[in-house]
């Protein structure tokens, strides 16, 4: 519910004059600074400084690359990693903004060190192994600092490692050959485990927040949607498509419940469902009506897409308003 709009409606309903309306806005705190603004600004500036600092270090290393030998480069990268790690550990619990920012630089330096190691020694390791090692070694750091600043990139690194593993097992081509379904199901399972690990019930232990969970949900929805479309447009329709629809429908139902309501996640899952349903209808129309009118089929498909989108938006708005009303009633009690 929009508090400012509600106050305007209430003022008009009771006929308040300008002075009374201004007094009402002051009591509601509309002119005051948001209570968490200063803390959020410090955290955001610290993360921005860490990102720009890490980027500056990379540019400085690239500009002076020829000035260092092999051991000098390793020593510089490792020295920076140790210094930033000690700084993050020393500030943990005292500087809520600086410690995660330094931890982010440690995570980025870990990736740079692994990349340079793989480039220097040509170990023959697959890229997914380097990303998996990166995620494994960064996990204690994320658990120790307990911040979404670290959990968000960690989720991206972990999912990238598993996606590269799946691509390696599939011969770097996305298809539905024999054994491909098992690989895709394993990738779904990993996506769900990542979602559960970053979900609200475990946040008291992990320290993860909304951003990391939303990123994990985005990656999981893309995984389900992409795999479902591959199944749909394969020569032999696989049950993976129907399973993807069922899982996305179950996810939409869970996210629409009062306890688990999350408007971003519900919108994302609903959009993925719409894409799969419209693509399924498109295949049905185009395959079933090969001797029909293609313009009429595309017209039907367009109307179905517009109608489904309109219904989805109406459903989401209704759920959001009901959730806001329930929160307002709970706050009034």
What does pLDDT average to in each consecutive run of 10 residues of the chain (333 residues)?
64 74 69 65 77 75 71 78 81 69 85 76 76 90 87 92 85 68 87 90 86 92 90 78 92 87 90 93 75 76 92 90 72 53
Q: Report the pLDDT value the prediction gives residue 250, as an integer from 0 to 100.
A: 93
Last residue of a domain, one of 73, 91, 124: 124
Q: Are residues 61 and 98 in the same domain?
A: yes
Angle at 324 between CA 36 and CA 212, to 5 degrees: 55
Q: From its phi and psi, is residue 261 left (phi > 0), alpha (psi between -120 and 50) or beta?
A: beta
Q: Which of 82, 49, 133, 100 is nearest to 208 (CA)?
A: 100
Handedness of CA 118, 119, 125, 126 (dihedral sign): positive
In a domain, 196, yes or no: no
Q: Are residues 30 and 55 in the same domain?
A: no
Q: Are residues 59 and 92 in the same domain?
A: yes
Helical axes 240-256 vs 263-288, angle rounded to 10°: 150
Domain range enclosing 98: 50-124
Last residue of a domain, one of 90, 106, 124: 124
Q: Report the pLDDT value the prediction gives residue 182, as an integer from 0 to 100.
A: 85
In a domain, 90, yes or no: yes
Yes or no: say if 161 and 132 are a contact pair by the CB < 8 Å rule.
yes
Q: Report the pLDDT value the prediction gives residue 45, as an integer from 0 to 100.
A: 81
Last residue of a domain, one of 90, 109, 124: 124
Q: Are residues 30 and 54 in the same domain?
A: no
Q: Report the pLDDT value the prediction gives residue 304, as an integer from 0 to 100.
A: 92
Q: Report the pLDDT value the prediction gives residue 78, as an integer from 0 to 100.
A: 80
In a domain, 319, yes or no: no
In a domain, 149, yes or no: no
Q: Which pTM does this prediction carry?
A: 0.79
Q: Are residues 59 and 115 in the same domain?
A: yes
In a domain, 97, yes or no: yes
Q: Are residues 21 and 58 in the same domain?
A: no
Yes or no: say if 98 and 47 are a contact pair by the CB < 8 Å rule.
no
Q: Report the pLDDT value the prediction gives residue 270, as an integer from 0 to 100.
A: 94
In a domain, 184, yes or no: no
Q: Are residues 74 and 120 in the same domain?
A: yes
Q: Are residues 116 and 63 in the same domain?
A: yes
In a domain, 74, yes or no: yes
In a domain, 209, yes or no: no
Q: Are residues 29 and 58 in the same domain?
A: no
- Read off the tokens for 87: 């700084």
Q: Are residues 113 and 77 in the same domain?
A: yes
For the chain, how many structural domains are there in total?
2
């Amino acid at each position: 519910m929009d508090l400012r709009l509600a106050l305007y409606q209430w003022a008009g309903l009771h006929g308040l004059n300008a002075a009374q309306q201004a007094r009402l806005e002051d009591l509601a705190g509309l002119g005051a600074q948001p209570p968490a603004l200063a803390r959020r600004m410090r955290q955001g500036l610290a993360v921005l400084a860490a990102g720009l600092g890490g980027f500056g270090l990379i540019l400085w290393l690239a500009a002076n690359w020829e000035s260092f030998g092999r051991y000098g480069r390793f020593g510089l990268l490792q020295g920076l990693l140790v210094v930033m790690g000690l700084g993050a550990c020393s500030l943990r619990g005292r500087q809520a903004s600086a410690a995660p920012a330094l931890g982010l630089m440690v995570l980025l330096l870990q990736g740079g060190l692994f990349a340079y190691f793989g480039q220097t020694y040509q170990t023959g390791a697959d890229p997914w192994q380097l990303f998996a090692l990166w995620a494994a070694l960064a996990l204690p750091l994320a658990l120790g600092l307990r911040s979404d600043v670290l959990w968000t990139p960690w989720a991206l690194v972990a999912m990238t490692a598993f996606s590269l593993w799946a691509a390696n097992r599939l011969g770097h081509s996305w298809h539905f050959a024999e054994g491909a379904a098992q690989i895709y199901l394993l990738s779904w399972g990993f996506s769900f485990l990542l979602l559960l690990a970053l979900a609200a019930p475990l946040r008291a232990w992990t320290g993860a927040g909304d951003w990391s969970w939303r990123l994990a949900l985005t990656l999981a929805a893309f995984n389900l949607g992409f795999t479902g479309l591959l199944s749909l447009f394969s020569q032999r329709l696989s049950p993976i498509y129907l399973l993807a629809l069922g899982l996305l429908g179950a996810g939409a139902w869970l996210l629409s419940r009062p306890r688990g309501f999350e408007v971003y996640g519900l919108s994302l899952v609903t959009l993925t469902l719409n894409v799969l349903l419209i693509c399924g209808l498109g295949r049905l129309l185009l395959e079933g009506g090969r001797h029909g009118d293609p313009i009429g089929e595309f017209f039907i498909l367009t109307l179905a897409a517009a109608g489904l989108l309109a219904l989805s938006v109406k459903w989401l708005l209704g759920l959001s308003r009901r959730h806001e009303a329930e929160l307002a009633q709970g706050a009034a009690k």
